[in-house]
Structure 1
Amino acid sequence: MYLQHKMRFLGAILCLIGPLALPCASRADTDPAMAAYKAADYATAIPQLEAACNRNPKDPLVHAALLSALVYEGAVDQAFDAADAAAAAFPDSPDVLAARGEFAFYMGDMPEAEKLFRAAGRLRDQTARAYYGLYHLYLAASMYRTGRLFCLKAHDIDPDDALITRAWMRYLVPEKRREVLGPFVQSHPWLFENAERDRDANLQVAQELNARKIFEPEGEPKDVTVRLSPLLYDPSRIRGFGIEFKIEGGRPLKLLLDTGASGILVRQGVIDKAELEHLGSGEAWGIGDAGVRKTFSAIANSCEIGGLKYKACLIRATEGKQRVGGEEDGLIGADVFSDYLLQIDFRKRLLHLTPLPARPPNPQGYDREIGRDRAGFTPVFRDGDHLFVTTRVNDKNTGLFLIDTGASMSNIDSTFARLSTKIRGDDFMRVRGVSGQVKDVFEADKAFIQFARFRQKNLGLTSFNLNNYTGHQDIRMSGILGLPILAMFRLTIDYR
């Protein structure tokens, strides 16, 4: 997927090109610390690995495992210390290089992550975590076919690594996946904390759909232009843009167009007024320190989004009377239109949708394609429902900033900000999101933000913890590019 503007991107293909070496000997059978690490039970492994590092200060494999475990658990400060120590002690260890690559990936420095993964592979071609890291990197870059090959290679090298095995299972045929998934979940419950809840919710939705396809368009897809309605703080300040939404021919609702979200999320009252059945349970998380919000799903037989008519519409809703965000009825992620090429023209307040050509099903997946008409576009990274663009701050540190049309201002993560500028407490600024009020808000000193060919000086950039989600995150968010910056551009998004 792409945004307009040009930027260098990932190179090379599957082969890491390095001297062939024997696989690392596994010590999981005899070493409890490494056994916990191999099982992806990182919370258990970390204290044991710390003790093992003290006992074996010259063992690079143990130090690499500790760094990898700290990264997975999101222990940033400890990971920084472990990465610096391991890099100084073992600069040429392929295991340490791969673990440092995982840390760079987590922190959003994708060029550095790729460099480290490839360096590990050149030193020892049988470094499973180097291939696994490249799998994650290419998946985030919409290089699905090549990412699959990296994942299969990683599993061939180390089938005992539970984290690699979990990724590998997604590429099995359904019959084989069902056969191996149950026992794997039972033996690795820490990797599937909400599996039973999610399985029950998916079953209820599937039963309600009764083999129907969600968001099936009425008629053949065609070019459509949707008018965007400004959502205002006051007569002179726009905080976002809305799209009209109707459920089964009901009254028009207003949804915030939010590239930082996924699907349709509304308040419970919308579902209850439409007399739709509550299905399953889930969670929604966003800006704020109140934690996750409970959600449920519903299926509408029909809905209309900005003039586009669909059948079997999947809608999520937050429990209770509290609104999702501002005064609007909910929000809609841009990925709802992933079958189209999206062009968002903020100045004209228009959303242009052009149907993408159909592609035949391919079990190996597709890699992104760069057509001549997209030669000047900037590739973006995708992590779940988030679209990120590589951003540099003060010419010092590189991270991933969320492209968020639903954010009324741009922000920088407080941990990332400290790497390149100074921050101070701001007692007057109030920030609120899907997860309630933000408790600790800071102001960053001058920050030059650069992405693609755009560079902007920001004075007093608002800063707070953007990564307070209690669950695991593959990528740490470095900042948010909100509407004030994005509105200067005409965004073109291809989700494929």
Structure 2
Amino acid sequence: MTSCLRSILDAALLLFCLQLTGLTDDVKAPVIESGLATAERFYQAGKFAEAESSYQVLLKTDPMLVPAEVGLVRAMLRQQKVDESSDTVNNALAAQPNSAALLAVKGDVQFRRGEMSDAEISYLGAKKLNPKEVHAYLGLARLYASYSLYRKAYDQLQSAHEIAPDDIEVKRAWLRMLPRRERLAALEAYLAGSHPDDEEETKWMTEYLDFLRATADKPVHRCRLVSRVEHTETTLEVMHGEDGHRIRGIGLIVKLNDRNTRLLLDTGAGGIMVGHKQAEKAGLIPISAQHYAGIGDKGLQSGYTAVADHIRIGELEFEDCVISVSRKNSVGDADGLIGADVFEAYLVDLDLPGMRLKLSPLPKRPEDTVSPTSLNSEGEEQAHAEQKDAPPEQSSKERQSSAMTPKSAVRLPRDRYVAPEMASWTKVFRFGHTVLVPTAVNDSKSMLFGLDTGAFANILSVRAGRQVSKVSSEDRLHIRGLNGEVNKVYSSAKTTLRFGHLQQTNLDIITLDLSSLSRRMGTEVSGFLGFAMLRVLEVKLDYRDGLVDFTYDPKRRTIFVQ
């Protein structure tokens, strides 16, 4: 917004405030309602600064106006004013502790700060005060999904939709519940009107709409498993940087159609992504445009989605898979990336000292009888959304009861299952392909760190670094991610990391501004556990249930120089 337009808006708001102060209560009420409606229109149009100003004017007239307090906090959060929004909602609740709406928005602030257990307490408290407080249900749906409690998340979202189906944020969350054709129509309607999304979010939704338009009337690309293999393992490759000497990480040989491709195995990435040159050589068929994001300060990067007829990884062979393609010729100093979430239908064992990737069946729930049948080559939530249109795999109990249920009945999602042999594994948080591990830095409270074999070094956010250590500028280091080079790199004093059942001391750690990543994730990402430390560990991942196990054996040697 130009300074001229800002001045006009400020003058209009001041005039509105002066008009309110001279009105009686009987006359003031409709004027306040009009002011709230104006502020909400700003918010729903994605004009969060203007919404914040409008709510502040209303609160100068009536400091106890709960809708304005709630709207102010939400507008501040959308501008990433995380600490200010926390102070604002805490002050409001001190004056009105029994406000369900304020307690629900406090849960939103705590979720954004990565304070998950506190957020759950706030949301549940809001529901208890007012069983119709829709944002408490929306917050719990998002929270429980990150816990891998998918049935609980489904139930909360279902309740939110029953309470307020026309709420704009309910509409957005409900999109992923719809079959493809209905999702296409609903997304078109959503984007055609005012919606509280920033430019980046709108771009992604618009591109997903193009993907739906290109595929809605065609069979779903299911990435079907065509080889009958339940257990398999394959050798991991050492990946080097552009200079051919610097170790970049570990990777896999993946056959796309009939062409061998060396992909960096990256637990911080989702699905499969290859460079444009590799896509052309493999004969991949483009579908629609796509932008993607990661670490770096060069903005969103352009690419497109494409279809591979065949993918072969070791003994596993799949057909009809959607993957991402970068417009660049290479990705991360390699032909491309493959996220470990690609194998989420299996128990993933990354034996880094032994340089082996082992895949085995996930522990069966007591009622399960099925084995993996597909590959999550797309990554993110899009793959999960498409699975709603696929014929559901049924457990034995579900098959027994199928005669008593309508043929159109949808198989409901299920909560995480912790098998007895996994009772000691670490429960992690899932945001799409990203696995966030509860991690303490020095003597800090638990923070959320991404598990990232694609990042060589351990990384600490500037925000977290200033809380737990001494941060200094580091001009000698140059860091590149999917979004290009990082403009400002810092370092922190030697730190101790505690995660899982392990502790690593005296670590030099790179410090970066991760605020953009945290904004996209919707919660605070305080750092990443990188390959330089993970390479001495055996890391087992159960993506389905949100469980990770780290094992360190000092007797095992690694090929990597320590």
User: Shorter-normalised TM-score: what interval?
Assistant: 0.7 to 0.9
1:164 corresponds in structure 2 to 170
Residue 177 of structure 1 and its aligned partner are, at CA, apart by: 5.3
Residue 235 of structure 1 and its aligned partner are, at CA, apart by: 9.5
Q: Does 1:70 align with 2:76?
A: yes
Q: Distance in 2 between matches of 1:93 and 1:396?
A: 31
Query: Any conservation in 1 of the 2:40–2:71 contact (CA below 8 Å)?
Result: no
Q: Does 1:277 align with 2:325?
A: no
1:258 corresponds in structure 2 to 266
1:211 corresponds in structure 2 to 219
Q: Distance in 2 between matches of 1:484 and 1:98?
A: 40
Aligned pairs, how many? 465
1:241 corresponds in structure 2 to 250
Q: Does 1:201 align with 2:207?
A: no
Q: Which has the larger radius of gyration?
A: 2
Residue 272 of structure 1 and its aligned partner are, at CA, apart by: 1.8
What does 1:29-428 correspond to in 2, within 5 Å?
Answer: 31-33=36-38, 35-36=40-41, 39=44, 41=46, 43=48, 44-172=50-178, 181-191=187-197, 193-194=202-203, 195-204=205-214, 211=219, 213-232=221-240, 238-250=247-259, 252-321=260-329, 323-326=330-333, 328-356=334-362, 357-358=370-371, 359-360=393-394, 362-428=410-476
Q: Which runs of 5+ in 1 are unaligned?
A: 1-26
**Which has the higher mean CA deviation after the structures are superposed, 179-188 or 114-123?**
179-188
Query: Any conservation in 2 of the 1:389–1:401 contact (CA below 8 Å)?
Result: yes
Query: Any conservation in 2 of the 1:291–1:469 contact (CA below 8 Å)?
Result: no
| TM-score normalised to structure 1 length | 0.85
Q: Distance in 1 between matches of 2:185 and 2:281?
A: 42
Q: Distance in 2 between matches of 1:175 and 1:295?
A: 25
Residue 338 of structure 1 and its aligned partner are, at CA, apart by: 1.7
Q: Does 1:443 align with 2:450?
A: no
**Which has the higher mean CA deviation after the structures are superposed, 107-116 or 58-67?**
58-67
Q: Percent identity?
A: 30
Residue 342 of structure 1 and its aligned partner are, at CA, apart by: 0.9
Query: Any conservation in 2 of the 1:221–1:355 contact (CA below 8 Å)?
Result: no
Query: Any conservation in 2 of the 1:259–1:386 contact (CA below 8 Å)?
Result: yes
The amino acid of 2:331's aligned partner reads V
Query: Any conservation in 2 of the 1:97–1:116 contact (CA below 8 Å)?
Result: yes
Residue 237 of structure 1 and its aligned partner are, at CA, apart by: 6.6
The root-mean-square deviation of aligned C-alpha atoms, in Å, is 2.9
| TM-score normalised to structure 2 length | 0.75
Change (3 A) 1:362 1:492: farther
Query: Any conservation in 2 of the 1:232–1:238 contact (CA below 8 Å)?
Result: yes
Query: Any conservation in 2 of the 1:107–1:399 contact (CA below 8 Å)?
Result: no
Residue 117 of structure 1 and its aligned partner are, at CA, apart by: 1.8
Residue 413 of structure 1 and its aligned partner are, at CA, apart by: 1.2
Change (3 A) 1:385 1:40: farther
**Which has the higher mean CA deviation after the structures are superposed, 358-367 or 28-37?**
28-37
Residue 231 of structure 1 and its aligned partner are, at CA, apart by: 1.9
Q: Distance in 2 between matches of 1:28 and 1:451?
A: 50
Q: What does the per-residue CA deviation read over 1:317-363, in whole Å, with 9 as the maximum and x for residues that have no partner? A: 11134x2112x211101121122111111111111111443442953
Change (3 A) 1:185 1:84: same
Query: Any conservation in 1 of the 2:293–2:299 contact (CA below 8 Å)?
Result: yes
Change (3 A) 1:293 1:253: same
Q: Distance in 1 between matches of 2:258 and 2:186?
A: 45
Question: Higher helix fraction: Structure 1 or Structure 2?
Answer: 2
Query: Any conservation in 1 of the 2:270–2:338 contact (CA below 8 Å)?
Result: yes
Query: Any conservation in 2 of the 1:261–1:333 contact (CA below 8 Å)?
Result: yes
